[in-house]
Amino acid sequence: MLPLLWIQLIAAAILILLSSKYLVSSSDKIATKIGLGHTFVGIVLLATATSLPELATGISSITLAQAPDLAAGAAFGSNIVNLLIIAIADVMWPRGPMLASVSRAPIIVAILGIVIIFIASISTAIHNWTDILDHWYISPLSIVLVLFFVIAAYIVYRIDNKETNSIETQDEAKNGKSKLDNETKRAFAFYLISALCIIGTSIWLSEVGDRLAEALQWEESFVGTQFLAISTSLPELATTIAALRLGNPEMAVANLLGSNLFNMGFILFADELAVTSGSLWSSISLSHVVTGLTGILMTLVVVGTLLIRQHHPKSFSFKWINLESSILIIIYIVASIALFYL
C-alpha cells in the first residue's frame, strides 16, 4: 500500500514539474505582449493557477473528509513552504543573491501578505477565544479577508502598471500589433492547458497525500501544515524553477508572495463557504496561529532583505548560501518542530 502511494506521489510531482515549464513561459509571453508587469502576472496568472490545488484540497478535506483543520493547515502551511521556496530559489540562482536581482515591486506584495496573514491569524484566535461570531453563516472576518485580497491585487496592478507603462513598451506593442493577436491567443491557450494539467494533477497529488497521512497516522493539524502543504506547494516550486531558468526571478518571487495572498484571502473564504455547520474558524486548531506568525516573521525577513539588497547587493553573501536564506530555513525548521509538539 505505502510503496504504491509513494510511486503515485512521485509520478504526480513529475507531471507538475513538466506542466509548470509551459505555465511560466506562456505567462511571460502574456506579460510581454499585453504590457503587464511581471509582479502582477506572477500574482494573478501564476499564483492563481498554482494555488488552486490548495483550494481543491481544502474543499475536499471539509466536504469529504470532514476535516476543516486539515484544510486550514494546508492553507497556513503553504504560506511558510512558499517562503521556504524563496530560500531554495536563492540557493539555485547562479548570479549572486537572488533578491538583489528583484525590483522593489514585490515589497508591496510582501507587506500586503503580512497584513492578510495577520488578519487570518487574528480570526483564528478570536473564534477560538469566543463564540460571538460562530452563529454567522459567513464570518465577517472571512469577508474582510476576501475583500482585502481583491484590494491588494488592485494595488499591485496600479503600482506595477506605472512601472511597465513606458514608451518602450508602447512602441513594442505598436510594432508587434500584427503578431499580437495570434501569439497572445497561443500563449493563453498554452497557459490554460498547462494550468488545467497542474490543477488536475495537484488534486490527485493531494488525494494521495491524504491517504499517506492516514497511513502514517500523523495528527491532522501537523499533516495539513507540513506534509500536505508541501505536496500542494509543488506547483509553486516547479514554477519557481521554471521562472529562474527563464532568468526571471521577479516573477518567481511575485508568484510565491502572491500565492500567500491567495491562500489567505480566497482559499480560506472558499473553505468557510464549504463548511455547512457553524464557522470554519471555530473548527480549527489554535496552532495555526503559530503557523501564521511564522509566515509573518519569514515575510519580514524577505522584506528586510529586499530593502537591504537594493543598496548592498553583495552583503552577507557566502559561497553556497546567503544570510537571508539561512534565516528562512532556520525559522522554518524551528517552527516545524514546534508545531509537531503542539
Domains of the chain, with CATH numbers?
A: 2-341 (1.20.1420.30)
Is 80:295 a contact under the CB 8 Å cutoff?
yes
The closest of 31, 35, 78 to 54, measured between CA atoms, is 78
CA atoms within 13 A on the CB side of 44: 19
Q: What's the pTM value of the predicted model, to 2 decimals?
A: 0.85
| Residues shown for the chain | 342
Is 41:161 a contact under the CB 8 Å cutoff?
no
222 falls in which pLDDT band (50, 70, 90)? low
The closest of 245, 212, 244 to 230, measured between CA atoms, is 212
The per-residue pLDDT for 220 is: 54
Q: Which tens digits make up the pLDDT trace of 75-127? A: 998 899 999 999 999 999 988 889 988 888 889 999 999 999 999 999 999 98
Q: Which tens digits make up the pLDDT trace of 169-193? A: 555 545 544 455 788 888 889 989 9
Higher pLDDT, 290 or 139: 290
